[in-house]
Structure 1
Amino acid sequence: MKTTASVEIDRPIEDVFDLTIHHVAEWSDVVIEDQIIEETPDVVGTTFRSITENQGEQMVFEGVVTQYQYPNLNAIQLVGQLFDIDAAYFFERITSHKTKVTQVSDVRPKGGLKIIFLLFGWLMKTASCKAAEKELNNLKEYCEQQEGAIS
């Protein structure tokens, strides 16, 4: 199931990139912990663990950075027990102090969850799009509240 969402943030692209990538647990309603396991010099290949919580249920994902082009692109792959996720954040400089962030994600269910996705995919996609929009609005609010330059 693929979803795409975008938001414009009143902040320079470098700041938005850094705040998005390095402070996920601070702006996300879903990610409660994000820990680097092994960092690589090129960033691509860096591994990490993300713990999410949704409606009281926690899930652990093992992640790897699959693409990294500062300050325009960060893509990751998350592997979980019930599903895997490919997510990419694209950053576009609109002006020197305004950035557009676009999140593209693909959720791939595993096991019995595949049947549920087939039967109720349209409903789940609507909920997933709303959740992505909410997360990006959280990111916008977080970025715009931070003081000074980050980079």
Structure 2
Amino acid sequence: MTVLRLALVAAIAVGLAACGSGRPKTPPQQAPQSQQTAKMEKSEPREQAAIAPARPQEPVNDDPQQFMGLDQPGVTAIIGKPAMIRRDGPAEVWQYRGRGCVFDIFMYRKENDVFEVKYVDLRAPDLAEDQHRACLANIIRSNRPATS
């Protein structure tokens, strides 16, 4: 039985020895420094693109009361089309949504079948009171019709 073990160990040793190539491993040769620099210069632009300065935001009237008394075309000219229109009894409610705020415009039909703004509601429960109008300004900027 010991002869069998010896033969098994010898066979394993021979098998492991055959796995090695017999030559020492050498790291891959590196190109001379001047060639590496030339490659980098070709692949990487020397000048970095300048970061464009932020565009100043266009000033807008952020007073929600500016909508009072306007008809539908007047509202659309300032703030664009609403995200949602809801009819609630005699009222038509136009809703605009921004990041952190919602602006509702309540219109009622006049005698000549034209809707007129009678009430506005700007809600921003997660914003400080002094940030409400800035949120409305952002809604106006993002929704207003493009002027040519």
> Is the pair's TM-score, using the shorter chain for normalization, greater than 0.5?
no
- For CA contacts below 8 A with separation 6 or more, give which structure has more relative contact order: 1
* Structure that is richer in strand per residue: 1
Larger radius of gyration: 2
* Structure that is richer in helix per residue: 2
What TM-score comes out, normalization by structure 2 length?
0.31
